Amino acid sequence: MLIMSIVVRLEKTVLLASFIVLFGSLQPMVKAFERQIYLANDELVAQNSAPVAAELQEILPKIQQQTQVPILLPSKLLITGTDNKIHVDGKGTSVGYEITLAFEPNCTANACSIGYISAEKGGKPLEDEFSRQVSLVQDIKGYFRPFTCGASCAPPIIGWEYKGVFYRMAFKGVGQSPEIEGENLAKMANSAIEAGAR
């Protein structure tokens, strides 16, 4: 009986040691409601499984390498009325990033531009940049201006401040009225906020 007890204890010890060797080097992970929480450098970092809009997936790794500012991108671009290829370019800096979308590569004119997504650490709304406030998820105050034409035409734009960074999204082709423009831009902004830093 004593020998059998020792053997059983030895087997349990070997199994426990094997488990520690096999799984001990992995980061602890808890998965709940499509979110994975990893423990890294003693901080909880949330990663969401929400996809990045297909048009932005190729540029994302470049921006990630160039900026330390949290990158907020929508899960889908609600741009309609075009079957043309969308050309995407962008760059990041230590204090932000800008991603541009156009109908032509290397576009520098308003006619071929579709719009942009940008972030600026410590940024604020410019004077007369927006015409109304909108409510976004997580009780975030957003700012909106519909499509306008003066000396030149400007696409509808939405902006919001999140954790000390001011984000902007401006796109043509997001609606046939100011109400629809605001609704679609707010949907994109909300999806970017809910997905978290990319």
Q: What is the dihedral of CA 179, 127, 165, 193, to 10 degrees?
A: 0
Per-residue confidence in pLDDT tens, the chain, 198 aa: 444 444 445 454 444 444 444 444 444 333 333 333 333 333 333 445 689 999 999 999 999 999 999 999 999 999 986 677 899 999 999 999 999 999 999 898 888 999 999 999 999 999 999 999 999 999 999 999 999 987 788 999 999 999 999 999 999 999 999 999 999 999 999 999 999 999
Q: What is the pLDDT of residue 84?
A: 76
User: Assign residue 161 a region: left if phi > 0, alpha if psi is -120 to 50, beta otherwise?
Assistant: beta
Reported residue count of the chain is 198
Q: What is the dihedral of CA 191, 196, 197, 198, to 10 degrees?
A: -60
Q: How many CA atoms lie within 13 A of 129 on its CB side?
A: 14
Q: How many CA atoms lie within 13 A of 192 on its CB side?
A: 28
Domain ranges of the chain: 1-49, 50-195
Task: State phi, psi for 144 to the nearest 5 degrees.
Answer: -140, 145
pTM (2 d.p.): 0.74
- Say how far apart CA 193 and CA 128 lie, in whole Å: 24
Q: What is the pLDDT of residue 108?
A: 84
User: Assign residue 41 a region: left if phi > 0, alpha if psi is -120 to 50, beta otherwise?
Assistant: left
SS3 (DSSP) at 124: coil
- Say how far apart CA 68 and CA 180 lie, in whole Å: 33
